[in-house]
A and B are shown apart, each in its own frame.
Chain A
Amino acid sequence: MNRIFITFILALFAYTTLYAQQDSIIKLETVTLSDVRLKNAADKTIIVKISDSILQNQNGSLTDLLRQHSTLYFKEYGLGMLSSVSFRGTNSSQTAVIWNGININSQTTGQTDFNNVGLGGFNDISVKSGGGSALYGSGAIGGSVHLQHKIDFKKQQTFNLSSTIGSYENYIQSGAFTIANEKSYFNGYVRHQAAENDYPFLETDLKNDNGEIENFSIGYNTAHKLGKRDVLKAYFSYFTNKRNSSRTISVPTKSRLDDKNRRFMLAWNRKATKTNYNIRLANLEEEFKYYENKRKKHLFSGSEVSTIIANADVDYKFSHKLKVKGAIDANLVEAEGDNIDKNIRRSIAGILSVNHKPFKGFAYNLTARKEATNTYKIPFIGSFDLNYKPLKWYKVGVNGSKNFRIPTFNDLYWEGLGNPNLLPETSYQASFNQFFTYKKSSLQLAAFYIDTKDMIKWTPDESGEWHPQNFVNVKNQGIEATLQTELRYKKHRVHISGTYVYVKAIDQETDKQLIYVPLHKFNGNISYHFKKVTAFYENVFTDAVFTDGNNSTSLLSYSVSNAGISCNIALGENTFTLSGKVNNIFNKKYEVVISRPMPNRNFLISIHYKYN
């Protein structure tokens, strides 16, 4: 353990990096994931996995969860409001969010609002650093976030009911059940949250007026084995999110944003001796309505987008050393809105991927993708990834890729302002990764470099009209570190985890750091388990960020801590968990986005009932 720690420190100071992998995604044969591309043999740049146990006790948003447990930085416009991500210093449309293998970034904005993702439907979240466009398509430049439901053909019957009450009239109720045997699996869930969210703005006379949020999610995840080789799966999720738009320090507001997202996917998997087939058909619907004055219900603007996705993957195993994947992705997107004329985008992509393990401990992957659309040209892209594990506790890897991000419907077609001649953004990147594992401890470090060209930016022309153009070139470089360790003494168990990221994201034209990209971000989590009691303390430190292009103004850095305790009471097959949590325990005043204060100290109390 000592030696590993010293190596870590040396490595850090020498500006080299290590890389580690925590859990093998494919460790459980009985578990099936729909995201078949994620378990690609050599492709293991998984930085963070968030397990079901953390997810089950989650009473915040996906933003809260990932901010606390991954290297991701979120630009959250006040609690529960719009939340856009920056991964390795890239912008919000350069992180792909993958739902059970399907890219769900909004077609109108190109990004995922992490406060507009329904919770309850997934039991596994993986955060993968680095370019993944070859497999996941547009937007996987900084990395990708995989939201999944693992299906486990194990005889089980579980019920979960949970209720949370929090400060500022925050009420969360959720329920889920799973019934399964060796042949069939069914999971259903429902979750509702309503919050007044009117926390005071510290050191002012103001409070978070017009900050009410209400969201509802419902869905199911089901699978059935058809004979020995075939599995049929269906996933459904429906999410509505009604949010008033919080006031700022200087702007009273009365607007409201309503979102609806519906996703359905049917997947078929056939496993033969040497061949593995996966076919997926999905339909995604996204809709939003913006009311400038929430009381004038007849006056709104909005858009509706419908996406149909068809994927087919074929894996062929030449030997245990060599596997080849061929895949086809077809997409049909139809968007229409008050500011966008009806437009249809069709695209089809072919993917070829090779995994080779020429000798023990050494593996590499080569992937290539060619995509064609009816709207613009997408370059040929590809990636390579190689890993070498010379020692039981040490692994080293290097990967490189070319990635892309397509212009959004807003970029292309916004009434009178959009630019139909936009090109996709392209980026080259490389990452050098090392990782150490020792018993229950792991340490991963990565050094990365991203060069993005033709970035799309909305900018005013000489007459003051804003249009999108491909003209920004940004270079990002930095390091990422993830540490996990567990200490045990008799019945006492202490779990420690943390991530650290350093990133410089420099606009090559102005030579300035991009706005809202902190140089340093750190999070640490420590939990103590003794018998039926768990206590935890967590902290996120975010460095100062610039809020304007000429880097003359910035927001202060902030360090925010939460703490909580929970206790299990088991009565036969029934388990009750009582838990309490204090957010922002030191009552720090901070803003994530300028002029939008975040909550002061606040409390949550939950009761969770589980039957199994």
Chain B
Amino acid sequence: MNAKKIIIGLFIAALTFTSCSDDEGVVFQPTTPTTETPLGAYENGVLIVNQGGWTQGNASVSFVSNDFSVSENGVFNNVNDTPLGDVGQSIAFYNDLAYIVVNNSQKIEVVNRYTFASVSTINTGLNNPRYMAFANGKGYVTNWGDSNDANDDFIAIIDLASNTMTSTIAVGEGPEQILTLNNTLYITHKGGYGQNNIVSVINTTDSSVSTITVGDTPDEMVLDSSNNIWVLCEGRPSYAAPETAGKLVKINTTDNTVATTIDFQTTTDHPKVLAYESGYLYYYIDEAIYKMDETDSTLPTNSFISQALTEGDLAIHSGKLYGTRADYNTGDSEIVIYDLTTTNLIQSVDLNTGAYHIYFN
């Protein structure tokens, strides 16, 4: 989601100031012996994809073990002795494999998710790849196409045996995040360089596409306990007049219609990143994290945890809340980890430039 801002920012900042960090330093501390046979060094922990700076060639993946005893930056580079590429966008997992989408390098690195040893590289046919999901034994990758062309956006279909793109499905402008439910794909259209307001629904058996209109700039999605999809719409930003407020939209996946829309208060309210656990939705706005019961019809008024997650992500796992933040001016990045019950900060770890999405391995 942040690549657009990085692009705009760096473009006009006209080369005077940029930032990056390429700290390949490895911090290994003794691990507590486990009785199970480990599947690899990167099991039982958190993976973070770090975007790096635009055209700095310093995208990376970081690992933090569940007990925080081990952390390592530049995992892909360390294991494979080659740079990951430019602008780490997202990671998708399928069986024992991790698919790392590297946006500006126009490629997907396929690695063993536990050892991070390289398996393959998908680098033909993609054009501004964003996110990947799996259905019917195939991979589906959202692609903006040329970001100034509203009519060339597509979903790339990947043959997982050969790791090649076999065909494409044309979709509306700016397909972003992608989620699979019963072999049906749900895709938010954040809008690429512009803004869109739809969710595409793709039937993977016949590749037919239908759309659901939601709020402006839909980005993150979560699946709740009743198989509804919640979409966080950020609203149109101030630089893309007319500015609009964010919305939280619930899609009923039995008939693919909008079941509930909860509006944010003012046009300057632009919520970011959404997480779900055990009946609660978590989102981020104005330097604070909010927690909302999925059955509530109004937004919470009090924040849950006060924590800046600038340009970062939010995720919840095993009673802990994980947040990333990145400062593209200095290159500083970190992951912060809170206890979900006490809301106390329990750990923070410095990461490589542009820390972004968080995954549990």
B residues 304-336 near A (Cβ < 8 Å) are: 308, 310-311, 327-332
Nearest residue in A to B308 (C-beta to C-beta)? A462
17 new A-B contacts, CB < 8 A, other than A84-B16, A301-B148, A548-B330, are A111-B14, A250-B57, A252-B106, A414-B12, A458-B9, A463-B237, A464-B2, A464-B272, A465-B239, A510-B330, A547-B18, A548-B20, A550-B19, A550-B330, A553-B23, A594-B55, A595-B57
Taking the complex as formed, is A91 at the interface, i.e. its CB lies under 8 A from any CB of chain B? yes
Q: Contact check, B237 vs A416: say whether CB atoms are below 8 A apart.
A: yes
Q: Contact check, A549 vs B105: say whether CB atoms are below 8 A apart.
A: no
Q: Contact check, A292 vs B148: say whether CB atoms are below 8 A apart.
A: yes
Interface of B is mostly: loop
6 A-B pairs with least C-beta separation: A416-B239, A466-B9, A458-B13, A548-B331, A595-B57, A549-B330
What are the interface flags for B85-105 relative to A under an 8 Å C-beta threshold, 1 for contact and 0 otherwise?
Answer: 110000000000000001011
With A and B bound together, what is the CA distance between A235 and B356 in angstroms? 54
- How many residue pairs link A and B with beta carbons under 8 A? The number is 146
Q: Contact check, A293 vs B8: say whether CB atoms are below 8 A apart.
A: no
| Cβ contacts A to B, 6 pairs, < 8 Å | A252-B105, A416-B239, A458-B17, A515-B17, A548-B21, A553-B331
**A-side contacts of B327, CB under 8 Å:** 460
What are the interface flags for A533-561 relative to B under an 8 Å C-beta threshold, 1 for contact and 0 otherwise?
Answer: 00000000000000111101100000000
Partner of A463, one of B20, B21, B270, B353: B270
**B-side contacts of A296, CB under 8 Å:** 146, 148-149
Q: Contact check, B330 vs A464: say whether CB atoms are below 8 A apart.
A: no
With A and B bound together, what is the CA distance between A84 and B85 in angstroms? 25
Partner of A293, one of B86, B146, B287, B330: B146
Q: Contact check, B12 vs A251: say whether CB atoms are below 8 A apart.
A: no
**B-side contacts of A249, CB under 8 Å:** 57, 83
**A-side contacts of B328, CB under 8 Å:** 460
Q: Contact check, B105 vs A466: say whether CB atoms are below 8 A apart.
A: no
With A and B bound together, what is the CA distance between A296 and B20 in angstroms? 31
Taking Cβ atoms with an 8 Å cutoff, the residues of A that contact B are: 75, 77, 82, 84, 91-93, 109-111, 248-252, 292-293, 296, 299-301, 410, 414-417, 457-460, 462-466, 510, 514-515, 547-550, 552-553, 594-595
Q: Contact check, B329 vs A92: say whether CB atoms are below 8 A apart.
A: no
With A and B bound together, what is the CA distance between A548 and B2 in angstroms? 18
> Could you tell me the distance in whole angstroms from the C-beta of B353 to the nearest C-beta in chain A?
7
Partner of A251, one of B14, B22, B105: B105
Taking the complex as formed, is B286 at the interface, i.e. its CB lies under 8 A from any CB of chain A? yes
> Could you tell me the distance in whole angstroms from the C-beta of B157 to the nearest C-beta in chain A?
21
Partner of A549, one of B5, B9, B19: B19
What are the interface flags for B135-158 relative to A under an 8 Å C-beta threshold, 1 for contact and 0 otherwise?
Answer: 000000000001111000000000
> Could you tell me the distance in whole angstroms from the C-beta of B303 to the nearest C-beta in chain A?
14
Interface of A is mostly: loop
B residues 239-260 near A (Cβ < 8 Å) are: 239-241
Partner of A410, one of B12, B21, B239: B12
Known: A249-B83, A417-B239, A594-B56. A299 touches B15 (CB 8 A): no
**B-side contacts of A92, CB under 8 Å:** 14-16
With A and B bound together, what is the CA distance between A510 and B330 in angstroms? 9
Taking the complex as formed, is B238 at the interface, i.e. its CB lies under 8 A from any CB of chain A? yes
> Could you tell me the distance in whole angstroms from the C-beta of A250 to the nearest C-beta in chain B?
4
Q: How many residues of B contact A (CB 8 A)?
A: 52
**B-side contacts of A75, CB under 8 Å:** 15
With A and B bound together, what is the CA distance between A75 and B239 in angstroms? 30
What are the interface flags for B46-60 relative to A under an 8 Å C-beta threshold, 1 for contact and 0 otherwise?
Answer: 000000010111110
**A-side contacts of B286, CB under 8 Å:** 462
Nearest residue in A to B128 (C-beta to C-beta)? A292
With A and B bound together, what is the CA distance between A2 and B86 in angstroms? 54
Q: Contact check, A91 vs B22: say whether CB atoms are below 8 A apart.
A: no
Q: Contact check, A549 vs B329: say whether CB atoms are below 8 A apart.
A: yes
Nearest residue in A to B104 (C-beta to C-beta)? A251
> Could you tell me the distance in whole angstroms from the C-beta of B137 to the nearest C-beta in chain A?
29
With A and B bound together, what is the CA distance between A75 and B18 in angstroms? 12
Q: Contact check, A293 vs B149: say whether CB atoms are below 8 A apart.
A: yes
**A-side contacts of B148, CB under 8 Å:** 292-293, 296, 299-301
Nearest residue in B to A466 (C-beta to C-beta)? B9
What are the interface flags for B267-289 relative to A under an 8 Å C-beta threshold, 1 for contact and 0 otherwise?
Answer: 00010100000000000001100
Known: A252-B105, A457-B16, A548-B20. A466 touches B332 (CB 8 A): no
With A and B bound together, what is the CA distance between A77 and B11 in angstroms? 13
**A-side contacts of B21, CB under 8 Å:** 548, 550, 552-553
With A and B bound together, what is the CA distance between A462 and B13 in angstroms? 17
With A and B bound together, what is the CA distance between A293 and B22 in angstroms? 29
Q: Contact check, B8 vs A251: say whether CB atoms are below 8 A apart.
A: no
**B-side contacts of A292, CB under 8 Å:** 146-149
Q: Contact check, B17 vs A457: say whether CB atoms are below 8 A apart.
A: yes
